[in-house]
Each structure stands twice: as structure tokens, then as C-alpha cells.
A and B are shown apart, each in its own frame.
Chain A
Amino acid sequence: MATTSLSMTSRQVNGSAMAALLAGGIGAFAMAAVVLLNEAGIFAAPTLYAPAGGVSGRTTLATIVWLMSWAVLHNRWKAREIAPGRVGAVTLILIALGVLGTFPPVWALL
């Protein structure tokens, strides 16, 4: 992503905001990836709570990916001004893929 001035304080620059929003998109995409891999029989996240079944592992794994990506992006961008256009577009694309991948009729296509 394009970065510009480093002269502003981390409180004023938009890097932290862009990191949080893009991480949200990554989390959505991770949820879809985990679900689709499970439905395709390629990878099944371990069940963490047996009464709830596999959903406990899938949602926990996607949440961990979301938090880790947020932490990495925040550390890299917190003192930078990030171009919002590209980050916004990538975020919305990832969210769209994430929602599609968690939509049961899509699984039937696998």
C-alpha cells in the first residue's frame, strides 16, 4: 500500500485506522477460507468445544487470524499516513469474498 508522510504523530495519522479496517476484511476472508476448506474436505479446524462441534474451531481460528493480522498491520502502519482508496477497496473486496464464502449456497458449488 502507498505510504506518505511520517512527520505527523501516530495520533493524527490514519495508519492505525487503516490497519483496523483492513484487518476486518482479512478476518472476514479468513472466516470464509476456513469454512470453504472445511466444506471441501481439505482442512478441518480442530473442535475446541465438543458440544458446539466444528464451528468452535473454525470461528476461533478465523478470529486468531484477524487479531494477528491486525497486530501486524497496526505495528507497521501506526505512525504512517496510508492512502485510504486502495486500502478501502481491498477491504471491501475481502469482506465481499468473506460473506460469499460463508453463504451456504456457495458451498454447494464445491
Chain B
Amino acid sequence: MLFTDRSIWTMVHGIGLGGGALIGLAAALFYLYAARSSEDSVAPPGSGAFAAATALSAAMLWLTVIVGTYIVFPPYRVTPPVGVTDLGEFPRALLLASPSTAWLHTFAMESKEHMPWIASMLTTAVAFVAVRYRSSVLQNASLRSLSMALLAISFALVAFVSLMGVFVNKVAPLD
């Protein structure tokens, strides 16, 4: 079989859901940036699209962290039975077996365990504001700035943990 269930779930988690969330966050940030000149508009264009982009990003982020924590992470952290010498099926043990790759667990994977949940919460908060307030988010300077800050932080966190995920999967893939 070309792809195992584990590798398919890893791709769904990292590329499908995480990648989709990054695209949605980038689109939402662009809407907010482009709306800087909308303060005088009665109904600035794009508020519906902005609400949709943030809501979709939040949904994808929650699916990313849930799939990551409850489907992808368990096989990653399985402890190999005593006597096993081929650690290819046990990514965490494989990474920790070498000082040159141990950081991929102790730094990269342990960052991935918690930081994306923060991004999910922040994006959900902005999605709520975008759906409830619609054009007011684009017109109100303080609301727009705070929303933009939270989305930018979410984007940075998701981009960082995505990069860490690429590193981990490159060295110790879930095959």
C-alpha cells in the first residue's frame, strides 16, 4: 500500500487541516489589513468573507489539534517493546535515541503539543467577533487592531508548529 492509515492521518492533520487553517488566517489578515481605509464606509465590502475566513480557520484549527492530539500523537509516542532494535515504527523513541535528533522531540514536538491550542482559542475569539459584529470589525479601529493582533499571533504560532511538524516528519515519519 502506498500510504498507511497513519501517514494519511498525518497528511490530513498537517497539510489538509493545518495548511488550510494557515491559508484562512492569511486571508483573514489580508481582509483586516485592506479594511484600514474603511472607517468612513457605511458598509465596507468583505465583512461576510472575513467572517467566513475566520470561522473556517477556527474550525480547521480545532480539527487540527483534535486530530493531532487524539489520532496522530498516540502512535508517535508508543514505547517500543524491550529488545526492539528497529525504531522505525516508534518515532519518539527514534528521535530520542540520537543526541542529534533528540531536540525534535524535546523542543519541536513538545511545542506542538500545546501552542496550537492557544492559536485555536485566539482564532475562535476573533471568529466570534467577526460573525457577531460583521462590518463593525472592519470599521472600528480598536476592534480591528486587536483582532488583527490576535490573528497575527495565531498565524505565527501555526506557522511555527507546522514547520516543527515538517522537521519531525522528515526525520521520523509515521509510516
Give the distance in Å from the alpha carbon of A85 to the alpha carbon of B137 in the complex: 15
Contact B142–A52 (Cβ < 8 Å): no
CB of B157 within 8 Å of the partner chain: yes
Contact B125–A99 (Cβ < 8 Å): no
Interface residues in chain B, defined as those with a beta carbon under 8 Å from any beta carbon in chain A: 65, 69-70, 73-74, 77, 106-107, 110-111, 113-115, 117-118, 121-122, 124-126, 128-129, 132-133, 136-137, 140, 142-143, 145-147, 149-150, 153, 157
Provide the residues of chain A in CB contact with B128, threshold 8 Å: 16-17, 20
Contact A104–B142 (Cβ < 8 Å): no
From A35, A84, A102, A105, contact of B143 by CB (8 A): A84
Contact A88–B142 (Cβ < 8 Å): yes
11 contacts between A and B (CB under 8 A): A17-B143, A24-B122, A28-B118, A55-B73, A56-B69, A56-B70, A59-B113, A63-B121, A84-B146, A95-B150, A104-B107
Which residues of chain A from 62 to 110 have a CB within 8 Å of any chain B CB? 62-63, 66, 70, 84-85, 87-88, 91-92, 95, 98-99, 102-105
Interface string of A5-40 (1 = CB under 8 A from B): 000000010101100110110011001000100000
A100 shortest CB reach to chain B, Å: 11
**Please, which residue of chain A has its CB at the minimum distance from the CB of B69?**
A52
Contact B125–A21 (Cβ < 8 Å): yes
B39 shortest CB reach to chain A, Å: 15
Give the distance in Å from the alpha carbon of A81 to the alpha carbon of B157 in the complex: 31
Give the distance in Å from the alpha carbon of A4 to the alpha carbon of B147 in the complex: 21
Contact A28–B121 (Cβ < 8 Å): yes
